[in-house]
Chains A and B, each alone.
Chain A
Amino acid sequence: MATGATDSKPVRWHILVFLLPAVLVYSAFMIIPLGSTLYQAFFSKAWAFVGIANFEMLFTDARYSQSFWNALRNNTWFFIIHMLVQNPIGILLAALLSNPRLRLRGFYRTVFFIPTILSFVIVGFVWKLILSPTWGVSQGLLKSVGLQWLFQPWLGKEDYALTALSLISVWQFIGIPMMLIYAALLSIPDEVIEAAECDGITGWNQFFKIQLPLVLPAIGIVSILTFVGNFNAFDLVYVAQGAVAGPNFSTDLLGTLLYRTFFGFQLQLGDRAMGSTIAAVMFLIILTGVCIYLFAVQNRLTRYQF
């Protein structure tokens, strides 16, 4: 199909040659495994076709449903914290950076992106150490500003651990929303801003009435990227809290649940069929999110052509 041969023209083999390596590797290690994993979600461990029984078990059977709904709830909270914290901070930093007369903007830009290039392993352990009551760095810091009562072993308490991890993840990824919004702000032509100033719209008023509406598409992209990344997250929890996502599964996400179900942990044996089922549910969640974005959000956001 890729050769594009028509009756009159000779076969253009070079098109095939150009496409083949990419299509082969991509199909063999991405599309086929994805399809095969989805397919296996409909089969039992012994390869018998079971229809949607695996999904039923995941949603309702006591062995799975509790951890599944827990992971889904946690994952949703994880995403909500990201949206609530990362977008305002990202917008604020981007707005400050986009001021053309700001000095040191290159420096700030570079620094704010440093956490983003570090791996989850580093980020997870670094924060685990810093928040550890054994070391006492954060107690010491809070004490120096008179806020030592605020200190808690955040990662060790069921009530706070997930929120603390979400904030760590925000700390790590803030560079991406900041940069994308920053780029959108820079692409607003000067005439638009000048026109606003002529009309007496300045400062924060100008920002909320002129710039913010113009960068909404960028915020939309940031949101969908965050959504996909969050519902597929695994590394940070695994590093900071282990595969059992402690304390008491309070930081369990779909990614860590998939890992434990597929590979097993402690006394539970790995289960390929249920692993595939969880992967299939994650696929559906992400697909739904992406479709909502592509068909509902993206079309409604007004794009301004300059």
Chain B
Amino acid sequence: MSAATRSPWRSIASHAVLLSYTLIALFPVFVIVINSFKSRKAIFSSPLSLPDAQTFSLIGYETVMKRGDFPLYFQNSLIVTVVSLVFVLLFGAMAAFALSEYRFKGNTLMGLYLAVGIMIPIRLGTVAILQIMVATGLVNTLWALILIYTAQGLPLSIFILSEFMKTVSNDLKNAGRIDGLSEYKIFFTLVLPLVRPSMATVAVFTMIPIWNDLWFPLIIAPSEATKTVTLGAQMFIGQFQTDWNGVLSALALAILPVLVLYLIFSRQLIRGITSGAVK
């Protein structure tokens, strides 16, 4: 709409719309974070003002630290997310390489089989997943979550990575073969480094739903020792519903790390979604 830019009014109007949506997007987060630093009285008397010397209070954070084991929840979330991510990327890249590099009987069929999970949510298999976890004694372990999230993340990662693997030059791989490199060496030393940018994209995509999931931690691993941040925050808030300071601080604590990570990786994420269209 280049004609639109020529008129200053058009430009002002678009900024007005965009700024109002900025307010809508940020306001709830902003209100929670500022109020988590206030005393109980100030939360109710002036919920929209910034904390000042009089109203500043860390009482909510103290409650959270005392009552909930948030460092442990963070550790659990971190372990589950990072290990699942490594599996999704490694296994996903390997399968994507097999599908995009070699011609073999059943290649297309295997590709379709692995793509089913992109559209069909893994949640629908929960009944049987719980049975499997009970049978193998994995209930209430982080491994149960890691295996489920690996299975959940693989279809999309294979799909995206095989698209990128197709762009790696054949000459390079064949040169490696002539030099006597094994297929494994070709994958790990030649191909993998070249698709690293796309792996970062897949990583961000895979990470968010894992970190934010409530369903599987609630069903498969709800024990105190294996709670993730999402489940921990949910249960803490459910228990301390009337302790507004505690609730607001728990929310702020759950928001801030994700927000910081997002601000660091937002370019990667946005570039991933728009698959390179963003300049």
Contacts and interface: CB of A to CB of B under 8 A. Distances in A.
B32 A126 contact: yes
A37 B127 contact: yes
Contact of B104 (A2, A29, A197): A2
B248 A19 contact: no
A69 to B, nearest CB: 20
Interface residues of B, number: 99
Interface stretch (B57-65, B166-174, B193-201, B252-260): B252-260
A67 B126 CA distance: 20
A202 B152 contact: no
Contacts of B154: 22, 25-26, 30
* A101, A125, A290: most-surrounded residue (chain B CB, <10 A): A125
A216 interface: no
Interface stretch (A70-78, A110-118, A151-159, A245-253): A110-118
B33 to A, nearest CB: 10
B125 interface: yes
B124 A283 contact: yes
B178 interface: no
Contact of B95 (A12, A18, A101, A113): A18
A17 B95 CA distance: 9
Given A102-B14, A113-B269, A186-B274, A25 B44 contact: no
B97 interface: yes
Contacts of B105: 1, 4, 6
Contacts of A120: 212, 214
Given A22-B114, A33-B129, A126-B29, A207 B1 contact: yes
Q: Which of under 10, 10 to 19, 20 to 34, or 35 or more describes the interface residues of A?
A: 35 or more
A1 B106 contact: yes
Given A22-B95, A101-B5, A125-B237, 9 more contacts: A14-B183, A37-B126, A89-B21, A98-B1, A99-B14, A111-B25, A186-B277, A228-B119, A262-B127
Q: Would you list the 4 A-B pairs with minimal beta carbon distance, nearest first?
A: A4-B104, A33-B125, A119-B212, A183-B274
Interface of B: 1-5, 11, 14-15, 17-18, 21-22, 24-26, 28-29, 31-32, 43-44, 47-48, 87, 90-92, 94-95, 97-99, 102-107, 110, 113-114, 116-117, 119-129, 131-132, 147-148, 150-152, 154-155, 158, 182-184, 187, 208, 211-215, 219, 230-231, 233-234, 237, 244, 247-248, 251, 254-255, 258-259, 262-263, 266, 269-270, 273-275, 277-279
Interface of A: 1-4, 6, 12, 14-15, 17-19, 21-23, 25-26, 28-37, 40, 89, 92-93, 95-102, 104, 108-115, 117-122, 125-127, 129-130, 135-137, 140-141, 171, 174, 176, 179-180, 182-184, 186-187, 193, 197, 202-203, 206-207, 211, 224, 228, 232, 234-235, 238-239, 255, 258, 262-263, 272, 275-276, 279-280, 282-283, 286-287, 290
13 contacts: A4-B102, A4-B104, A4-B107, A19-B99, A29-B132, A30-B154, A33-B128, A34-B125, A93-B17, A118-B29, A183-B278, A232-B123, A235-B215
